[in-house]
A and B are shown apart, each in its own frame.
Chain A
Amino acid sequence: MDPHEAHSAIVSPIGTWWLPAGKQEKMWVGIAFIWCLILFAMMPFWHFRGGQNPSGVRARVAPADFAARVEKFVSDYQVGDDNGVPVVAPPPGSDIYLMAQMWRWYPVLRLKQGVHYTLHLSSVDINHGFSLHPVNLNFQVVPGYDYGLKIVPNKSGDFRIICNEFCGILHHTMVGKVVVD
């Protein structure tokens, strides 16, 4: 900063303009940089201390294989039927499967409060979006990929799964159900 000269942004700076910045600018750049480091540090910190992370167990899976796992899961633990969709009550701690397909979530899950499950999400056709309502947990469901998320329901009640990735003309009807006892 040359203290005896000032020009606008549409004028060519003449001579050397690589000069030390003013005091106030230096201060703001410094504070902004510290804030950026805090923003950065919060993410690894939450992996160690926080309860909500999108890490999961991730693997590739062929859509047909995933559909077969879902079918086995349903036949092992089915306890009923809700609106034509099988209701499945898996044991605590187990691997549970949810299949996204134009335009349904399959099956209905019946879970217990305060215990953990590994929820496997995948799609057998196109991209879908898993949105647990009204908790507002959202994950992308991509065909060919198995997203295994450790979950612990912290409240009992009747929950919905909304599809929040556009998946065609009946996208808005793609609603699933989770019940927590």
Chain B
Amino acid sequence: MAPMAPALAARFRTCEVTGLKVDWHAETLLKVNAVVAVVNFLIGIIAAFGIVMTRWQAVHLLPVDLFYRFLTLHGLNMLIFFIIFFEMAILYFAGPILLKSRLPAARVGWLAFGLMVLGMVVVNTMVLQGKADVLFTSYPPLRADPLYYVGIILFAVGALVVTCLFFATLVVAKRERTYEGSIPLVSFGALTAAIIAVITLLHGAAIYIPTLLWSLDLMEVDPQVYRMVWWGLGHSSQQINVAAQVSVWYLLAALTVGGVVVSEKVSRMAFALYILFISMASAHHLLVDPGMGPAWKIWNTSYAMYLAVLASMVHGFTVPAGIEMGQRLRGYTRGTFEWLKKAPWGDPGFSGAALSVVIFGFLGGVTGVTIGTEQINIIAHNTLRVPGHFHTTVVGGTALAFMAVTYYVLPLIFRKRVAFWGLAKLQPYLFATGIVILSMSMIFQGIFGVPRRNWDISATGAPFQIEYHPVVQLFQATMGIGGLLAIVGGLAYILIAVVSVFFGRPFRLADAHDPSGVPPGVWKLPQQMYQGATVAAVHKTGTRGTVILVFIFLACFILYYFANWKILSFAWKVG
């Protein structure tokens, strides 16, 4: 590497744990994005409390107007602001920090951050003032204040600028030779997330700009076309989350147990598959719409031929296999599952990532593919099954993975010990349990036809009464309890993060005599590279444990999928 100018060199510090050279701007932008993400998460959680305590009919907390306002607020702050601010932080990590590069045009990064915060504030202000009670999807002809759409556009432009900055970092790092060989897999995964973000944001521009003009009475927007293009944004953005979350899985596998990449080729091909087919996922929301025919629906809902599903199934193998192999290299070679039993289950970075893999795969993936099937969607569309499904992907999967990585970000980036360490060890389990109970209760209610986005399923004031199957009452209660558990788990996360960042004890590697508040992988980073005979021996044994796990997964998948076809076959004939 060429010697740096002193002014530039002064921007860097060397990480004690990883040896990475860290640019002050990249690190500081990472921090501010992460902090704002947590603030949005708090807003989202407050809204979540109102929503779940209203949908639980026995409590029915909020009045009707506030319920839909909170629902709008919850969707936007969780699914857009929390997640995307956090992903911006991930891009600053996976770009300049992991590649030991400077952040080019750092001022542009600050400008983008300002735009995103401004957009977020405008949107939340509009929603709280009751000028945008249009829910997350804002389907026209439902109309919000024009400023609402302006806020979304500002936020999206800011996010687009950050992704461009990430691409610029790749170019700079390559040219300045800050690394040898190819970029690490985690950076590659972040790169796919960034590319998907660009595609997604282009859909966003294609729909929010016309919708803004429509809200000003300057043009027409067709409701069906809106639904198609909007979901090109709305669903594709979930693929940003998937790519970011899978990258975090690989990252945490490396940091917690020295998980290795079983095959660079297979993992990178799987990431590439995400890019190729994402826009097609818009169709998942249009399967029972009048605007499209069966051929369009089948081809698109299956991402060509389930090739993006294939990608997730591949990561579902390679992530645990990498962990198994890493553990075997560390000496946990006995039997089929010693690697799993001796895994650091008390490290919230590991337990959070592991639970995220299981919840995302077994619940999120299986339910998603099933209800995204053209005909099965008839018995699922707009019922509580849909939010039940995506609370296992985007909350139990993505948000939980982001929480897990926070326990490493606090000491490594903020250089603070994790506050309330005992609580932190429990937090992933608490949050995961809550989300699983909540989501499964929603899914079961949905199977009995309970609609999503509904203030009062007892339909007070309707001309005709509705009676649900009595078991719905039970799932209502478990939904409430699961929701409360998840909220407590989420609040615990916020408490830990905020206290650590602003009032936490500083972390220095020299203070290892008092290990409390720092994950084991930070005190002693597991070995990241292996060579020689040990590797050959482990390669020969293979990853037997993982093979058994993925076949259990496949069996559950097949069972759930065909059970749904069976349920569908009992319905009225329709076609």
Contact = CB atoms under 8 A, between A and B. Distances in A.
B453 A164 contact: yes
B462 interface: yes
Contact of B572 (A25, A104, A122, A153): A153
Interface of B: 18, 64-65, 68, 98, 135, 139-142, 179-186, 189, 222-224, 227, 247, 250-251, 253-255, 258-267, 286-294, 297-298, 301-302, 305-307, 309-310, 313-314, 317-318, 321-322, 325-326, 329, 369, 373-375, 377-383, 447-449, 451-457, 459-466, 468-469, 528-533, 535-536, 538-540, 542-543, 546-547, 550, 554, 557-558, 561, 565, 568-569, 571-575
Interface string A134-148: 111111111111110
Contacts of A174: 462
Interface string A147-165: 1011111110000101111
A162 B383 CA distance: 10
B378 A9 contact: no
Interface bracket on A:
35 or more
18 contacts: A9-B185, A10-B18, A17-B182, A22-B263, A39-B309, A52-B575, A55-B293, A138-B379, A142-B224, A144-B222, A145-B291, A149-B574, A151-B572, A152-B572, A166-B135, A169-B68, A172-B459, A175-B459
Nearest to A58: B290
A112 interface: no
Contacts of A72: none
Given A24-B547, A28-B314, A175-B463, A8 B261 contact: yes
Contacts of B135: 166
Given A52-B375, A126-B139, A147 B462 contact: no
Interface of A: 1, 3-15, 17-25, 28-29, 31-33, 35-37, 39-40, 42-44, 46-47, 50-56, 58, 82-85, 104, 116, 121-122, 125-127, 129, 131-147, 149-155, 160, 162-177
A131 B449 contact: yes
Contact of A24 (B253, B455, B543): B543
Given A19-B265, A52-B573, A53-B575, A169 B64 contact: yes
Contacts of A9: 184-186, 189, 247, 250-251, 253-254, 259-261, 267, 322
A6 B329 contact: yes
Contacts of A176: 464
Given A11-B254, A12-B182, A42-B373, 17 more contacts: A3-B536, A8-B528, A8-B529, A9-B250, A13-B261, A28-B550, A54-B375, A122-B290, A138-B379, A138-B380, A142-B224, A152-B574, A166-B142, A173-B462, A175-B459, A175-B462, A175-B466
A101 to B, nearest CB: 13
A82 B139 CA distance: 32
Nearest to A136: B449
Give the dominant DSSP class at A's interface.
Answer: mixed
A85 B462 CA distance: 12
A139 B288 contact: yes
Contacts of A170: 461
Instruction: Choose among A19, A25, A173 the residue with the greatest number of B CB atoms under 10 Å from its CB.
Output: A25
A104 B384 CA distance: 21
Contacts of A46: 374-375, 565
Contacts of B532: 4
Contact of B263 (A1, A127, A175): A1
Nearest to B530: A6
Contacts of B550: 28
Contacts of A83: 463-464
Nearest to B289: A140
Contacts of B263: 1, 19, 21-22, 25
B61 to A, nearest CB: 15
A164 B264 contact: no
A173 B532 CA distance: 70
